[in-house]
Amino acid sequence: MEPLLIYPESAPFHVVKTLEEGGYPFIPVGLISRITQLEPEEGWSGAIICADQNLDDAFFICRHLRTKERQISPLLLIVDRTNLDKLELREDLFDDFVTLPLDPREFQVRLQRLFFRTGRGLTQELIEYGPLKVNLETYQASVSGKLLDLTYMEYQLLTFLASHPGRVFDRETLLSRVWGYEYYGGARTVDVHIRRLRAKLGEQHESMIETVRSVGYRFGRHQK
């Protein structure tokens, strides 16, 4: 993963600590002119803008990043809880925000989610959920140590679902995220594959994939 841009140079302690612990590479930048100078060859993989010291400066940087020829995304804004109303009408300037005082666990989850969506996150090599293991390196999935014979699309669907436990996806979303739109089957295909995956997970574990009536599917238990 290429480094993240972090502004300003002296970011709040917990922000820096969470990034370090999570293994996210980052480069602190204090001046606009340094953004291009310090830019990694492959481009910044995202930016974290802390607005705790000067809100207007932070918005200015966000706007600059948004209008840059080589756009930087995702953009995560860290803002004081007391300033939440200032975000109104500025939604275009950032992809997500976290409030201060920082909840490190929440920050971590938001980072994961943001970078998962853009596909630029840290490559996670093993997804584990109960007895299910999916090894992204070898493309093999197993339940209680027994390898599953999956087709490519079944594998992709399982991997996608297992990476988002507790979340409900409708068929269209699954189709566009897992298959892409260029598929003959249409959204009905999702049902066909879910049924096959359940059969392969076996009776004991088929409930890992739940049908959410008139919505779609959820992997794993509902998150509280």
Partner 1 sequence: MATKSDKQSKIEYVLKTVEERKVGFIQLWFSDILGTPKSFQITPAELSSALEEGMTFDGSAIDGFSRIQESDVIALPDPTTFSLLPSDQTVAQVFCDIYNLDGSPFEGCPRNTLRRALDHAHSLGYSFFAAPELEFFYFDKDVSNGPKPLDSGSYFELTVSNLPSQLRKRTVLALEDMGIPVEYSQHEDAPSQHEIDLRYTDALTMADNIMTSRLIIKEIAAASGVLASFMPKPIVGVQGSGMHTHFSLFKDNKNAFYDDRDETGLSKVAKHFIAGLLHHAPEITAITNQWVNSYKRLVVGYEAPVYISWARNNRSALVRVPTPKTTNSQSTRIEYRALDPAVNPYLAFAAILGAGLAGIEGEYELAPQIQDNLYKLSTEEVDALGIESLPGNLDEAVREMERSSLAREVLGEHVFEWYVRNKKDEWSNYKTHVSQFELDRYLEQL
Report if residue 192 touches partner 1, rule: CB under 8 A.
yes
Report if residue 56 touches partner 1, rule: CB under 8 A.
no
Checking DSSP bridges between strand 209-212 and strand 216-219, what pairing results, if any? Answer: antiparallel
Rounded to the nearest 5 percent, the helix, strand and coil shares of the chain are: 40, 20, 40
Surface-to-core class of residue 21, CB atoms within 10 Å of its CB (0-12 exposed, 13-18 middle, 19+ buried): exposed
Report if residue 171 touches partner 1, rule: CB under 8 A.
yes
The dihedrals phi and psi of 121, each to the nearest 5 degrees, come to -70, 180
- Single out the residue of 63, 64, 195, 221 in contact with partner 1 (rule: CB under 8 A): 195
Q: Where does this chain touch partner 1 (CB under 8 A) — which range of 7-15, 78-86, 156-164, 201-209?
A: 156-164
Report if residue 39 touches partner 1, rule: CB under 8 A.
no
Tokens of 11: 């970011």
- Single out the residue of 31, 84, 109, 147 in contact with partner 1 (rule: CB under 8 A): 147
Report if residue 184 touches partner 1, rule: CB under 8 A.
yes
Residues 49, 62: contact at Cβ < 8 Å?
yes
175 closest CA partner among 194, 197, 190, 162: 190
Residue 108 or 159 having the CB closest to partner 1: 159
Minimum CB distance to partner 1, residue 140 (Å): 5
Report if residue 101 touches partner 1, rule: CB under 8 A.
no
Residue 13 or 152 having the CB closest to partner 1: 152
Report if residue 140 touches partner 1, rule: CB under 8 A.
yes
CA 64 to chain centre: 24
Minimum CB distance to partner 1, residue 53 (Å): 34
Kindly identify the residues of this chain, within the stretch 70-99, that bind partner 1 according to CB under 8 A: none
Sequence-separated (6 or more) residues with CB below 8 Å from residue 8: 28, 29, 30, 50, 53, 57
Q: Where does this chain touch partner 1 (CB under 8 A) — which range of 17-25, 30-38, 90-98, 181-189?
A: 181-189
How wide is the angle at C-alpha 125 spanned by C-alphas 200 and 177, nearest 5°?
65
Q: Which residues bind partner 1 (CB under 8 A)?
A: 116, 119-120, 137-140, 147, 149-155, 159-160, 163, 171-172, 180, 184-189, 192, 195-196, 199-200
